[in-house]
Amino acid sequence: QLQESGPGLVKPSETLSLTCTVSGGSISSYYWSWIRQPAGKGLEWIGRFYPSGSTHYSPSLKSRVTMSGDVSKNQFSLKLKSVTAADTAVYYCARMSSLGWFDPWGQGIPVTVSS
Amino acid sequence: QSVLTQPPSASGTPGQRVTISCSGSSSNIGSNYVYWYQHLPGTAPKVLIFKNDQRPSGVPDRFSGSKSGTSASLAISGLRSEDEADYYCAGWDDSLSSVLFGGGTKLSVL
């Protein structure tokens, strides 16, 4: 199971920080991703993380995204800097297979960017 | 506007067969696997189809996927009220070096 956590409200220009806690298995041997969905819109892939430290980010968000992980806590995290209202969305974490599909997903955490 | 193009809506009556299309290009669908997800509001998305036409265990065989050239389709037969959800196609794009999702199709069971 995956569970997202973090603040539900972030001020414009600040950094959005979320954590995904994985239970029922180690994060060590899989890719992990963050995906978001703005209200009324479709899904958007943010990037993927491998516990060895390898990362790959969506070109549209690459300049603002950092993903990392803590194997000892079985957690991985997302940092998105310089946020604006356009970053308001439900954020999901998910395990990503080596062939590119996402399963399972977390329940999602809504994040609003507003002053 | 998504690079993977889906119709915004689809509908059918119970028992009918419905098909949802996903149109892409040679850099995504044309050269990589397609995946399909079902998303009910307020829940976690669920993978229905992987590697174009494979069903994970637990997904009913009423759901089937296919791919031809730069297009893919999800078919749902024996439509049920619980199938009312948003459906997304997805896959890797070699040119963008990114996972892409289609814009999503809202399926209504009338």
Give the mean model confidence (pLDDT) for residues B61-78: 97
- Which own/partner pairs from A7-10 qualify as long-range (CB within 8 Å, at least 24 positions apart)? A7/A111, A8/A109, A8/A110, A8/A111, A8/A112, A9/A111, A9/A112, A9/A113, A9/A114, A10/A83, A10/A87, A10/A111, A10/A112, A10/A113
How many Å apart are CA B48 and CA B63, to the nearest integer?
7
Report the pLDDT value the prediction gives residue A52, as an integer from 0 to 100: 84
Count of other CB atoms within 10 angstroms of residue A30: 17
Give the mean model confidence (pLDDT) for residues B38-60: 94
Interface with chain A: mutation pick from B98, B101, B106, highest number of A CBs within 10 Å:
B98
Residue B71 pLDDT greater than 70, yes or no: yes
B31's CB contacts (< 8 A; 6+ apart) are: B94
Q: Do A43 and B35 touch (CB under 8 A)?
A: no
Positions in chain A whose pLDDT score sits under 70: none
Kindly tell me the burial class for residue B70, based on how many C-beta atoms sit within 10 Å of its own C-beta (0-12, 13-18, 19 or more): middle
User: Contact A66/A3 with Cβ under 8 angstroms?
Assistant: no
Nearest by CB: B44 against A33, A42, A108: A108
A35: tokens are: 């995906």
Residue B1 pLDDT greater than 60, yes or no: no
Report the pLDDT value the prediction gives residue B69, as an integer from 0 to 100: 96
Residue B3 banded pLDDT, cuts 50, 70, 90 = confident
A78: tokens are: 């997302």
User: Contact B94/B32 with Cβ under 8 angstroms?
Assistant: yes
Residue B110 banded pLDDT, cuts 50, 70, 90 = very high
Q: Which residues of A touch B33 (CB under 8 A)?
A: 99-101
Percentage of chain B with pLDDT > 70? 98
Residue B11 banded pLDDT, cuts 50, 70, 90 = very high
Report the pLDDT value the prediction gives residue B2, as an integer from 0 to 100: 64
Cα separations in angstroms, A25 against A74, A96, A104, B72: 8, 14, 12, 33
Chain B residue closest to A34 (CA)?
B99
Report the pLDDT value the prediction gives residue A29, as an integer from 0 to 100: 84
Chain A residue closest to B106 (CA)?
A42
Interface of B with A in 13-72 (CB under 8 A): 32-33, 35, 37, 39, 43-47, 50-51, 56
Tell me the average pLDDT of chain B. 95
Give the distance from residue B51's alpha carbon to the nearest chain A alpha carbon, in angstroms. 8
Report the pLDDT value the prediction gives residue B41, as an integer from 0 to 100: 83
Give the mean model confidence (pLDDT) for residues B61-80: 97
Question: HSE on the CB side for B18, CA within 13 Å?
Answer: 25
Q: Which residues of B touch A42 (CB under 8 A)?
A: 2, 88, 101-104
Report the pLDDT value the prediction gives residue B74, as an integer from 0 to 100: 98
Count of other CB atoms within 10 angstroms of residue A73: 12
Q: Do A59 and B46 touch (CB under 8 A)?
A: no
